[in-house]
């Protein structure tokens, strides 16, 4: 509706009361908001009165003065309106809920006395951090751009790498109270409709009050929370999201969270890093194998040591067994307690460092590693072999592509250790098979978690534990998930 035409009808007396009523009603809703503001002013040299209502802390003062107040004060027939006005939406006075919503989003509502419509002008206070390089997913080559807390900005970062009309964007509001904006990204013709349907229905089923970060959405997308394996991937990198979309996956962006959710996510993808696709294929393959080895060492080394020392000393070669048995002779604790002490100590040191400022963290690291480690060995409380084994397995646990794999590894390590401590190698084998059954029973958004090993797919293996060259991969896009 044209601005000028609209001003023509302002003298209708019936609408006068409508505006006052609406403004009062909105005020009632925000009665306990200290930043509630209501300003009245005359439009230009006409007699019409404008009522501005907004929440002071959500609105940018500069925009308010320049784009709302000044154009209204200096209004005449010849005035050219600022862009904000032409783009503003007009809502009926009666639609109070929508007006309230817009106010909470940082807009200014302009009521003109005598009109049944109200203008919503966006003037949100910009509390947006600058784009920085992703902290957790560092790459040596490739883009250094990471997501920020503003979802619209994040969508632009993805869009800029994916200039196609096939990009679909579905919007959801999650959280009854928080009303968090969430976007589901997919590619038309590439993403399967069943997948979108599945995610949509899962998102619609959410009845929670709050949805602060993407990690909360992640929990609702999982089939079961009782698993140490994460079945949804999170990323800070727009290039990874693009890769996932090209692979036929979906991306979920949650306003206020710098982490996008990617699914489906399978077991072997936890060994993939974005760097794999920016490095030479052979190098990337070797790196993947190192990560896989790291995973198995980290989960099993301690348990294996426990089983060998406690149950199956006959499996150790004679030269090694000589050294081990002589070193263990003076240690007062059984191997299980010994391993537990060191394992807990390392985990506690790591937990302590994690939340401390870097300089203090260094001190804890030094005192943990050198002083306690040295002292326990020289006091003959712990045999040096245990310290080697436990630290190697801890380091291997951190040599993973994702931080969440580290937690997975930690859980599995403790469980394996317990089983090996009860029944030795038999216990270890049983728990391996248990984990295998467990992994087989997992699904990530309907896709088997053990894909592509089972169900087996030779083609998909090219980019699973191998990373063959992009030329050999053919038309298929690299899997940056």
Phi-psi region of 389 (alpha: psi -120 to 50; beta: other; left: phi over 0): alpha
Q: How far is the CB of 425 from another protein (least distance, A)?
A: 6
Q: Which is nearer to another protein, 125 or 438 (CB)?
A: 438
Distance CA 353, CA 348 (A): 9
- Residue 309 or 481: which CB sits closer to another protein? 309
What are the helix (H) ranges across 311-372? Answer: 318-328, 335-354, 358-366
What are the beta bridge partners of residue 204? none
Closest separation between CB of residue 345 and another protein, Å?
Answer: 21
| Six-digit token string for 41 | 């002013």
- Given the rule CB under 8 A, which residues bind another protein? 198, 202, 223-224, 226, 309-319, 321-322, 324-326, 328-329, 331, 334-335, 421-426, 429-430, 433-434, 436-437, 439-441, 443, 446, 448, 450, 453-456
Residue 144 C-beta: closest distance to another protein, Å: 37
Beta carbon of residue 378, minimum distance to another protein (angstroms, whole number): 18
In the complex with another protein, the residue whose CB is nearer, 242 or 331, is 331
**Pairing relationship of beta strands 233-235 and 260-263 according to DSSP bridges:** antiparallel
Q: How far is the CB of 341 from another protein (least distance, A)?
A: 15
CA 246 – CA 439 distance, rounded (Å)? 26
Write down the least CB distance from residue 173 to another protein, Å.
22
- Decide whether 155 or 428 has the Cβ nearer to another protein: 428
Residue bearing tokens 């009926």: 92
CB-wise, 46 or 441, nearer to another protein? 441
Polymer length of the chain? 481
Q: Is 131 helix (H, G, I), strand (E, B) or coil?
A: coil
Please, which residue, 412 or 450, has the CB nearer to another protein?
450
- Helix, strand or coil for residue 330? coil
**Rounded Cα–Cα distance for residues 465 and 478 (Å):** 13
119 or 311, CB closer to another protein?
311
Neighbours of 252 (CB within 10 A): 26
Distances (CA, A) of 386 to 98, 302, 309, 346: 64, 8, 10, 12
CB of 422: closest distance to another protein in angstroms?
A: 5
Q: How far is the CB of 439 from another protein (least distance, A)?
A: 8
- Put residue 409 in one of left, alpha, beta given phi > 0 → left and psi -120 to 50 → alpha: alpha
Q: Which is nearer to another protein, 206 or 324 (CB)?
A: 324
CA 346 vs CA 299, 386, 393: distances in Å: 15, 12, 11
In angstroms, the CA 283 to CA 279 distance is: 7
């Amino acid at each position: 509706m044209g601005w000028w035409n609209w001003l023509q009808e302002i003298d209708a007396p019936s609408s006068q009361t409508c505006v006052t009523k609406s403004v009062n009603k909105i005020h009632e809703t925000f009665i306990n908001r200290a930043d509630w503001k209501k300003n009245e002013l005359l439009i230009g040299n006409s007699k019409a009165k404008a009522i501005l209502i907004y929440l002071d802390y959500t609105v940018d003062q500069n925009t308010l003065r320049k784009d709302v107040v000044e154009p209204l004060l200096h209004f005449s027939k010849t005035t050219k309106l600022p862009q904000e006005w032409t783009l503003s939406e007009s809502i009926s006075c009666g639609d109070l809920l929508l007006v309230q919503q817009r106010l909470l989003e940082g807009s200014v509502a302009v009521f003109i006395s005598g009109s049944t419509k109200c203008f919503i002008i966006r003037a949100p206070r910009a509390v947006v951090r600058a784009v920085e390089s992703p902290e957790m997913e560092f790459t040596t080559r490739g883009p250094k751009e990471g997501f920020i807390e503003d979802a619209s900005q994040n969508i632009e970062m993805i869009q800029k790498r994916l200039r196609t009309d096939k990009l679909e964007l579905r919007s959801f509001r999650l959280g009854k109270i928080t009303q968090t904006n969430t976007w589901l990204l997919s590619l038309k013709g590439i993403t399967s409709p069943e997948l979108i349907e599945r995610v949509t229905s899962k998102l619609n089923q959410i009845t929670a009050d709050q949805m602060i970060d993407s990690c909360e959405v992640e929990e609702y997308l999982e089939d079961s929370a009782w698993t140490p394996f994460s079945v949804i991937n999170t990323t800070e990198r727009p290039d990874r999201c693009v890769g996932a979309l090209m692979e036929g996956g979906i991306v979920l962006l949650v306003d206020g969270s710098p982490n996008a959710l990617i699914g489906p996510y399978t077991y072997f993808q936890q060994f993939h890093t974005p760097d794999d696709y920016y490095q030479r294929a052979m190098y990337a393959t070797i790196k993947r194998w190192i990560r896989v080895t790291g995973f198995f060492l980290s989960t099993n080394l301690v348990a294996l040591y426990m089983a060998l020392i406690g149950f199956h000393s006959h499996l150790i070669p004679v030269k090694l067994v000589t050294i081990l048995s002589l070193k263990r002779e003076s240690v007062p604790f059984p191997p299980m307690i010994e391993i537990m002490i060191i394992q807990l100590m390392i985990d506690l040191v790591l937990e302590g460092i994690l939340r401390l400022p870097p300089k203090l963290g260094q001190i804890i690291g030094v005192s943990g590693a050198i002083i306690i480690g040295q002292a326990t060995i020289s006091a003959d409380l712990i045999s040096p072999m245990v310290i080697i084994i436990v630290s190697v397995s801890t380091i291997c646990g951190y040599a993973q592509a994702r931080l969440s794999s580290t937690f997975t590894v930690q859980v599995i390590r403790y469980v394996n250790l317990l089983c090996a401590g009860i029944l030795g190698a038999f216990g270890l084998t049983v728990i391996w098979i248990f984990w295998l059954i467990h992994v087989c029973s997992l699904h990530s958004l309907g896709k088997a978690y053990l894909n592509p090993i089972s169900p087996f797919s030779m083609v998909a293996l090219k980019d699973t534990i191998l990373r063959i060259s992009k030329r050999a991969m053919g038309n298929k896009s690299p899997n940056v998930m």
